[in-house]
């Protein structure tokens, strides 16, 4: 089994989500206007991304980030649903509860 196969099977931890999604998102995009001057409110907002994406295979998480980069057309953080929608494959219902 290749390293990529293993990555596609391994479930993302909060550290993975922070490294693959959260930190690049914070660097690349501005926070939403209501949070610009309220950095103390970021943790509960970002926790929503962590909760939503927990357990997604790392390879799928990386793929979702690439999809969001290609499709997100705002200067502020993408909504968590943008990542969820990027994960969605209509032929594979595993990611929808």
| Predicted TM-score (pTM) of this structure | 0.84
DSSP string, 24-76: HHHHHSBPPGGGTT-GGGHHHHHHHHHHHHTT-BHHHHHHHHHHHHHH--SSB
Residue-wise pLDDT tens digits, 13-49:
999 999 999 999 999 999 999 999 999 999 999 999 9
Residues 64-89 pLDDT 10s: 999 999 999 999 999 999 999 998 76
Calculate the CA 21 to chain-centre distance.
4
The span from the CA of 39 to the CA of 48, in Å, is 15
Nearest-CA neighbor of 65 among 26, 39, 33? 26
Q: What is the pLDDT of residue 2?
A: 74
Q: Specify the number of domains making up the chain.
A: 1
- Band (9; pLDDT cuts 50, 70, 90): confident
Structural domain of residue 72, as residue ranges? Answer: 3-33+40-95
């Amino acid at each position: 089994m290749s390293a990529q196969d293993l990555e596609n099977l391994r479930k993302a931890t909060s550290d993975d989500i922070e490294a693959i999604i959260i930190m690049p998102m914070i660097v690349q995009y501005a926070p939403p206007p209501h949070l610009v001057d309220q950095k103390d409110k970021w943790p509960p907002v970002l926790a929503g991304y962590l909760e939503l994406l927990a357990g997604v295979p790392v390879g799928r998480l990386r793929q979702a980030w690439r999809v969001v980069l290609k499709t997100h057309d705002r200067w502020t953080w993408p909504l968590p649903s943008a990542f969820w929608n990027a994960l969605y494959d209509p032929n594979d219902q595993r990611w929808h509860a």
